[in-house]
Amino acid sequence: MAVAALITWVITAILGATMLRKWVSGGGLAAARADAAGTAEAATSPQAAATSFPPGVVFGHFLVVLAGLVLWIIYIVVDNDVLTWVSFAALIVGAVLGDVMFLRWRKSRSGPESQLPRELVYVHGGFAVVTIVLVLLTALGVGS
């Protein structure tokens, strides 16, 4: 089950990295800088007039789940059960940040967020849910 969780986690990460790249290349970072400066003219992309994704949430989500993935790989190698729970905690924090972005994305699909294909967002979320369940089951010792 640990390997299945690793596979779904890697797929989720690839999908998430694709969305991050689309958001940044679509002007997400420029829009956030413009929002922080208080001027839409500071944005370098015409699509980057505004963003509903705070960069702290975007990159926090990415870094927390990436750290959890690294810990999961270490868990698989060294078989230290504590790492399953630390990885699970990282997933939950990452899921909360991901949910914040998802809800903002559903509410307003304009600016850089409009660059995110609907199917990609839903498939990423689906794989994330499966990953959370598999990690939890592994941490609980189911199937071992």
Q: For position 39, what pLDDT does the model report?
A: 55
Q: For position 50, what pLDDT does the model report?
A: 82
Spatial separation of the C-alpha atoms in residues 144 and 100, rounded to whole Å: 34
Q: For position 24, what pLDDT does the model report?
A: 92
Q: Are 67 and 90 in contact (CB under 8 A)?
A: yes
> What average pLDDT does range 128-132 have in this prediction?
98
Of the candidate ranges 53-57, 65-69, 90-94, the one whose mean pLDDT is the lowest: 53-57
Q: For position 45, what pLDDT does the model report?
A: 47
Spatial separation of the C-alpha atoms in residues 62 and 76, rounded to whole Å: 21
E strands, 1-144, are none
Q: Which residues, other chains included, contact 45 with Cβ-Cβ below 8 Å and sequence gap of 6+?
A: 26, 27, 30, 31, 112
Q: Give first-to-last CA distance, the chain, whole Å.
A: 8
> What average pLDDT does range 103-131 have in this prediction?
92
What is the residue extent of each domain of the chain? 2-139
Tokens of 112: 């850089």
Instruction: Write the DSSP assignment of 60-101 as a string of letters.
Output: HHHHHHHHHHHHHHHHHHH--HHHHHHHHHHHHHHHHHHHHH
Q: Are 99 and 121 in contact (CB under 8 A)?
A: no
Place of tokens 């498939």: 123
